Chains A and B, each alone.
Chain A
Amino acid sequence: MFFKSGKKNGFEGGGLVLFESVEEAMGGERALKAAEIENRLVAPPPELRRGCDLALEINLVEKPAVERALQERKASFLDILPMRGDAELLQVVKVTDFGEAVMVKAGNMKLTFDKASGVVLNISGGGCPDIPYLHAEMLGLPLEQAPRPKALGRTLCALMLDRAYEQSLEIRKNGNG
């Protein structure tokens, strides 16, 4: 049961931030409000309850931005989970070797880099608005010098791109690039 309905203004987030105590939940709400991230206080369903019976509903797509806002404002939280479905973010990646270039795919995101130079050649896939932004910021730079998607991005697409980026760095480090 929800404490209040935010659906009148179109907000329906699909994600929950869980807290140890009511005090922490209130602090989390203040932190997200300060960061201008839409949220509302709700009661988590019993199957997702980990700490107190107060949680914040957020737009799950904004998980990285929510995490960052809470951490920057030192607001403690237990976890951020989808309200339904698989609780775990996709961990698997797929790698395609194009000969001179390698494409790493994580979820819906693909990052392609040049084997010899490590330069980011292309970023494809995704659909959230920070992806064209990250595309513009990262293309043409060596992986090691490119900004980290997780640091600049705000959405789950950016998080998947970060997975692809991490794996690309790993491939380079292992000399397979």
Chain B
Amino acid sequence: MLLVCGTAPLKTLPLTEGDARLDGDLLRIGSAEVPCTQGTAALVSAACKTLEYLDQPPPRVLLAGDDGSGKGSRQLYERLIADLPRLAPRVLLLHYMLPIMGLMRRVSESASKAPRRPFMIADAAAMYAAKAAGIAREFDLFTPDLSELAFLADPQATHPAYVSRHLFEWDSSRIPEMVAAAYASGSAARTLVVKGATDHIAQDGRILDTLSEPDVPALEAIGGTGDTISGMVGALVHAGYGEVTAARIAVRANRTAGLYAGATPATRIRQVIEALPRVFADHLDEWARQAQVERAERSAS
């Protein structure tokens, strides 16, 4: 099971658990209907499209309404702490939730009580909580953008708003230094997918790959284009792809979907997501084969 946990901007939405289904602009989870916009809804929608293309079961979703008060987020934490050993997902993807360090520690402890610890992915504020709580190393994969990488590289910061100015001012040419600093201070998951003008994939402190084509600068402005990468990575890992291959495919698919959608700064994320099936049909087999060849070459060298 791929289990996605996050919040939706609907104040009255109670804690909801169910399989997700994308129906036009709406995401249906149990009896809940959530608009496909920036945030966890975009992540789940991209995961739905990916798993559907791969003929896999839909993602399971734990979703709670939260407008920032943290009430829905606390319900999510408590459910995970109580039920993760029973739910035993193969992949656990934690996303938009109020970062609460102590509760995130308990979620990670609970994950270890499952028969097999899930493959743990964190993005958005779930990643902030894991880093701030000092348990980044217990995670398998983080998906930061440049400013969030600066936060991981700053050993003192507990939120990206308090990153040291010099780190924030570093441009993408300094990504290797920031990646090294994040791993050195124990603030990185085993694998990092750094999203940006050039995407970087790092594992165990080493940058394995960079991707910058196709170049669609407007993607940075579109709310949800980082969420879709995380959703695709989670879905691909769940479908059996290795995490580095999954990351390569996800960032390429995101860029190509932006190209297919004719992305401009005014494009909505659902337009990018709608392009994903065509992207997969055109490229997935080729990208997966390339990734296999590259992995074999790396092993040989």
A binding-site residues for B, Cβ under 8 Å: 7, 9-15, 36, 38, 59-62, 65, 82-86, 88-92, 96, 98, 100-101, 103, 105, 107-108, 110, 112, 114, 121-133, 135-136, 153-160
Q: Which residues of B contact A91 (CB under 8 A)?
A: 165
Q: Which residues of B contact A128 (CB under 8 A)?
A: 68, 96, 98-99, 124-125
Indicate if the CB atoms of B68 and A154 lie closer than 8 Å: yes
Q: A124-B226, A128-B98 are in contact. Are A98 and B217 (CB under 8 A)?
A: yes
Indicate if the CB atoms of A125 and B226 lie closer than 8 Å: yes
In the assembled complex, the CB of B140 is this many whole angstroms from the nearest CB of chain A, namely 18
Q: Name the segment of B35-43, B83-91, B198-206 touching the other chain.
A: B35-43
Indicate if the CB atoms of B221 and A90 lie closer than 8 Å: no
Q: Name the segment of B53-61, B155-163, B237-245 touching the other chain.
A: B155-163
Size of the B side of the interface (Cβ < 8 Å), in residues, is 66
B binding-site residues for A, Cβ under 8 Å: 7-9, 35, 37-41, 66-70, 72-73, 77, 95-103, 105-106, 123-128, 132-133, 145, 147-148, 151, 154, 156-165, 168-169, 217-218, 220-226, 264-267
Q: Can you list 14 residue pairs at the A/B interface with Cβ under 8 Å?
A: A60-B158, A86-B162, A86-B164, A88-B162, A107-B163, A112-B265, A122-B222, A122-B265, A124-B224, A125-B226, A135-B37, A135-B38, A135-B39, A154-B68
A98–B267 alpha-carbon span in the complex (Å): 13
In the assembled complex, the CB of A98 is this many whole angstroms from the nearest CB of chain B, namely 5
Indicate if the CB atoms of B158 and A132 lie closer than 8 Å: no
Indicate if the CB atoms of A82 and B99 lie closer than 8 Å: no
